Structure 1
């Protein structure tokens, strides 16, 4: 008997049905399938994701701790269902002559399969099925041509889990011990991206606090309808400033000795990438980056999402959509319905709504939001929202052998010919039903052909502005169709001219192979369905899109020099001479000050002022500028940067002041100082990159995993040794408690405490030791 182990029950079912007429059976209430394939008895069973997890061998709250083992995942809360799957695999493997692993072909999939093989079946060796899709053809090919397990992937997967466990558990315990040393309690956490972000924010805060202002003086001349300043601008020497002030303070007139005029052209602003949209929405509406991202999501995503367990066809196998990396390659269909690779980006949101469950005749199921378009054949190929599908509808799929086509028909029908010659089949819908759902849903933004394969069914990709691109699509017919949707709107007068003149849009330097710039794609049929905030962001995006096609703004700049008692003062002004794109994208404001001066003209001096000023410290980052800084430092991704800032705010490490600037709190500053002194790696942005490089080298078998784990342990031991020696000092920094001595009764640290009647000295060993002393 051959035992095939899949990653999840639904995949086991597909594999069994591909190999023959499968019989469904159960053991310990867990489904498995028996099938006869060319005289061979095959049993197809499954895991349910990771069956095993890391736990401490002898649980304690001390650190450092590295004694860990793999244990059944059902020990974790909410995973009791795993127990029967482990029991089922153990029992079925007793009768197996050979075991085939058919989990996802990636690091996590290889690890899941290996652990099932080792811990459930008691074996170290097994054959490996590698397939790129769950079609009958691919599954049979993978079964008949098995490969060896990739132990490089296994080692990389185990190493990633172990190293993350080492760092997470030990650093958390070290922090808790430091706080506990002062008999206090705080939940503290830091991430590999949040750490470096908090670090540079704290460094800016430190610069501001340590800044020492330097005085300087400015000479201002108030003339009729304008102000001029001395050409030297800043006087650092007070005596020099006073000397010139005395020379000009009583002047009644000045003479215009020079007037220069020049015209500058300002190109249209480039189309939005996500970071720029977040900054502009903050500048004009004071929306936080996270809020802007959420509004953009509601505008662009509009419900096109799939159930988290949906299987997605990738070039190297099949994976649940919820398990995909944030970006990568996916298989989609080209115009000839042939499978081709394309870049994707993963999207996620949380819903509480009714979803549509589609069941095909062969048992294939797809659960999706109501609006998600599915590729069907209705005399021609169409993408139809799932809520508008009908039973017996002809769905385009990769998982059915019968194309159900007539040769006579497809010779005269181009779409049928494409289906016949492509990599797809036609399957029929058996049942459509609504189900209640609350939780996360996912979708992909796919480059090129804007479709992908979900549970073997062809679906249209979502459109969502997680993009780094500042370039609009180059397809004029696509742009023209978008512009035509703006008919009968306030934007039509601009869109109509763009269409008539076939104007080309400007573009920025940033590119994103997976998605174009954020741009308007339609006009809302019912604007009342959008909130006021959504309308503001929509208007911002629509006007930014249209302005990219428009003329340059032309501005005239005037610079004048005025002699007052032989001292030169300068004045400047500017005005718009051609409004250009600003008539559409009117959000930025231009100062309009026309200096109507002529050379040789006498101007009346109303007063002269000597003003003392001081240099100012560097500005704090704002909710807008922090996104730009994270981009520059390559910390986080365009999709996560807003979330990073939001987490730091929620944890109380930073706060948003009334003027929108980000101020590091005492807690945030103390966290940074503690890590700087005792664990600088946590606030060093190099840590994540170094770890990923080493894990990749393990996978490529360039480095031994034991060396990486030993190095991680050694690194942590050194750091944690310093932590342990300085626990009280670290606790003092984290709790803001002032240590003032040692308790005469028990020897614990004494700290300043706050009580009902004010501050006093108390023992940190309270309530075991109740020693107190008045501050007086």
Structure 2
């Protein structure tokens, strides 16, 4: 009997359908198992094994860990038990096992744990696919590969490293507070530390910012506003002097037009999808990943956890465009134009690559019941795909300069001359245009209005969730699949909150940042975290390096914890004082509100 391991129940159903396995039975009334005479498809429910410390208590450091059935480690994972039992019920008759989980570190680790802990001694095979369409699943089954141990071992190493950091640092924090006779649950993680540091430094930068005055000059001709070419003026007296020089008339000394080709943005990888979904629809990065996962499991889009911005011809550009043409009137005309031209179809490509999966693309499967944000995200992905094959948009920028008493003022406008690829997305968002009045060189006009305005410099902008995800990617912190989760965790721990202008750091978050930066700055180190991340990525290609990476992690973490222990009492006192100050502040605010 060949056992096929799916990552989730919904995916198991799709795999069974693709392979023509129609017999379904409910194992323990909870787990849908699909089987025929040769195959059985059994779903996991994400990770059904979990890391557990072999040492009891709350001391640190602790590095002695092992894998255990999740329901035995965490009572909240009780729902995983029947899935484990379903696999076990076939363990004796299985002579072959096929891992059909997501082809990445996490998916491969899920399948690896099922294979080695339940189907011991059976060498697993691998199905590799990027969409859950019947055709691709069947092809992946027929062309099974050797198991991707690199992905699985990299995933396991990441889990172990994150466990070492999370458990040991959290225990150290709580132990420090215990030295004062107090108790509070506190936690920090490997990537959360640097992410908190990035937002805290931004908070300090904004807090330290002192607005400074500056003055702007402007004139108005035929209803068109012109601004002083010399830019902002810091000296008020100079601003007054220049303002007095503005005459009653101005001469148009330059009219310059420039036409530019603006090409379609590249295909979406996960980060650019998260950024664009936030820009267009204000959907948070974490929610975008959740919605994309639903679309993937519904066979509507390809695997979303990818860092690639490239699409291979093997996905069938023409076939997808033909199907999209029938689905939505918003871009059916554009798809028809592309198909009617004939010849080779070639999309715009981006720079980033991912060996495991291509960029995110629509499969061509017709959506049947999409609503709300799911529909918006699907439309964003499908429209971008059509836009990739279309000609560039032509944008004309016009700059006009006017002179009055040797003072130059300028006005700028932009307009779209040819919409090009933007026609495919205009039902979702419009291209920005700025109208400008028509002028000709040499014309002399009356100045209808002149202005001198005092303004103040503005503090640096705060991070949004999307821009913070982008910043973490830029700095090489976390992975494409974890960055949004890291940010959500910092919100959940009340280190961050959403306020006016974007992300704010709470008093608690700022205390954690300042105290840990003072005593154990390594916890907040971007460089250290980036170095670990690079080592973890390397394991995918060289799984034999796992021991070296784990040993190095233990060594680094042991030094950090030794440093922590030396300052334990001081750290504890500073945290208790900070918490006490926050409590007093909250009480005072509450009384004031009453």
Normalised by the length of structure 1, the TM-score is: 0.54
Residue 482 in 1 paired to residue 326 in 2? no
Distance in 2 of aligned mates of 1:753 and 1:288: 29
- Answer yes or no: is the 8 Å Cα contact 1:627–1:642 preserved in 2: yes
What do the CA deviations read for 1:424-477 (whole angstroms, capped 9, x no partner)?
xxxxxxxxxxxxxxxxxxxxxxxxxxxxxxxxxxxxxx932222222223248x
Residue 522 in 1 paired to residue 364 in 2? yes
Equivalent residues in 2 for 1:148-159, closer than 5 Å: none
Distance in 1 of aligned mates of 2:464 and 2:112: 44
SS class of match (1:630): helix
Q: Tell me which residue corresponds to 2:382.
A: 542
1:286 corresponds, among 269, 282, 288, to 282
Equivalent residues in 2 for 1:324-363, closer than 5 Å: none
Distance in 1 of aligned mates of 2:490 and 2:62: 29
Distance in 2 of aligned mates of 1:569 and 1:625: 34
- Answer yes or no: is the 8 Å Cα contact 1:223–1:604 preserved in 2: yes
Q: Tell me which residue corresponds to 1:421.
A: none
Distance in 1 of aligned mates of 2:249 and 2:507: 55
SS class of match (2:324): coil
Q: CA deviation at 1:210?
A: 0.7
SS class of match (1:506): coil
1:238 corresponds, among 210, 231, 236, to 236
Residue 583 in 1 paired to residue 583 in 2? no
Q: Tell me which residue corresponds to 1:723.
A: 568
Residue 663 in 1 paired to residue 504 in 2? yes
Distance in 1 of aligned mates of 2:513 and 2:364: 46
Q: CA deviation at 1:687?
A: 3.7
Residue 652 in 1 paired to residue 494 in 2? yes
Give the greater-gyration-radius structure (CA).
1
Q: Tell me which residue corresponds to 2:19.
A: none
Q: Tell me which residue corresponds to 1:625.
A: 467
- Answer yes or no: is the 8 Å Cα contact 1:469–1:510 preserved in 2: yes
Query: Structure 1 259/709 Cα, relative in aligned 2: closer, same or farther at 3 Å?
Result: closer
Normalized per residue, which structure has more strand?
Answer: 1
Query: Structure 1 622/728 Cα, relative in aligned 2: closer, same or farther at 3 Å?
Result: same
- Answer yes or no: is the 8 Å Cα contact 2:215–2:454 preserved in 1: yes
- Answer yes or no: is the 8 Å Cα contact 2:477–2:529 preserved in 1: no
Distance in 2 of aligned mates of 1:71 and 1:300: 29
What do the CA deviations read for 1:537-591 (whole angstroms, capped 9, x no partner)?
2222221111111121112222111112332211122222212122222224221
Query: Structure 1 253/650 Cα, relative in aligned 2: closer, same or farther at 3 Å?
Result: same
Q: Tell me which residue corresponds to 1:565.
A: 405
Distance in 1 of aligned mates of 2:188 and 2:387: 42
Q: Tell me which residue corresponds to 2:21.
A: none
- Answer yes or no: is the 8 Å Cα contact 1:255–1:602 preserved in 2: yes
Distance in 2 of aligned mates of 1:468 and 1:277: 10
Query: Structure 1 252/622 Cα, relative in aligned 2: closer, same or farther at 3 Å?
Result: same
Equivalent residues in 2 for 1:221-232, closer than 5 Å: 221-232=219-230
Q: Tell me which residue corresponds to 1:316.
A: none
Distance in 2 of aligned mates of 1:71 and 1:545: 42
Residue 468 in 1 paired to residue 310 in 2? no
Distance in 2 of aligned mates of 1:72 and 1:270: 43
Residue 54 in 1 paired to residue 50 in 2? no
What do the CA deviations read for 1:167-213 (whole angstroms, capped 9, x no partner)?
54543233224445666543221111111111111111111111122
Q: CA deviation at 1:237?
A: 2.0
Equivalent residues in 2 for 1:360-439, closer than 5 Å: none
Q: CA deviation at 1:279?
A: 1.3
- Answer yes or no: is the 8 Å Cα contact 1:253–1:564 preserved in 2: yes
Q: CA deviation at 1:615?
A: 1.9
Gaps of 5+ in 1: 1-7, 9-48, 83-103, 117-127, 135-155, 305-461, 739-750, 760-776
Residue 713 in 1 paired to residue 558 in 2? yes
Equivalent residues in 2 for 1:729-748, closer than 5 Å: 729-736=574-581
Distance in 1 of aligned mates of 2:532 and 2:281: 40
Query: Structure 1 534/554 Cα, relative in aligned 2: closer, same or farther at 3 Å?
Result: same
Distance in 2 of aligned mates of 1:162 and 1:556: 55
Distance in 1 of aligned mates of 2:406 and 2:156: 80
Q: Tell me which residue corresponds to 1:318.
A: none
**Greater displacement, 720-729 / 204-213:** 720-729
Residue 554 in 1 paired to residue 554 in 2? no
Distance in 1 of aligned mates of 2:265 and 2:552: 52
Normalised by the length of structure 2, the TM-score is: 0.70
Query: Structure 1 754/183 Cα, relative in aligned 2: closer, same or farther at 3 Å?
Result: farther
Q: Tell me which residue corresponds to 1:191.
A: 189
